[in-house]
Amino acid sequence: VTGASFVVFNGALKSSSGLLAKSSIVEDGLMVQITQETMEGLRQALRDKKDFRITCGQVDTGDVKEYVDICWVENEEKTNKG
């Protein structure tokens, strides 16, 4: 689990890269590089206020160890006010 001050979603990752998605820590935030198809799914999930999971790693390996989860919460009082 990584806490971050901001998140950047970059939809320029090419399908030919062999990656599902790639995440990296940038300063005190998180940058997630995703394909255009995943970006479209993320945009729709945000419009619909639905949870969304981005799987990071190589396309051809079954051993996935990293996810970026976007989760909506019911009670905003327990979330970061900043």
Q: Would you say residue 62 lies in a domain?
A: yes
Assess if residue 65 is contained within a domain: yes
- Whichever domain contains 38, its CATH number is 3.30.1360.220
Is 24 domain-assigned?
A: yes
Give me the number of domains the chain comprises.
Answer: 1
Q: The domain containing residue 37 runs over which residues? A: 6-70
**Per residue of the chain (82 residues), what is the pLDDT tens digit?**
667 789 999 999 998 898 999 999 888 899 999 999 999 999 999 999 999 999 998 888 777 678 999 998 887 666 566 5
Taking the model in full, what pTM does it have? Answer: 0.78
Whether residue 42 is contained in a domain is answered as yes
Q: Quick check: 19 and 8 in contact, CB under 8 A?
A: no
Measured between alpha carbons, how far is 75 from 14 in angstroms, rounded to an integer? 37
Three-state DSSP class for 2?
coil
In angstroms, rounded to a whole number, what is the distance separating the alpha carbons of residues 70 and 42?
Answer: 9
Whether 77 is in a domain gets the answer: no
Residue pLDDT, tens place only, 32-43 = 999 999 999 999
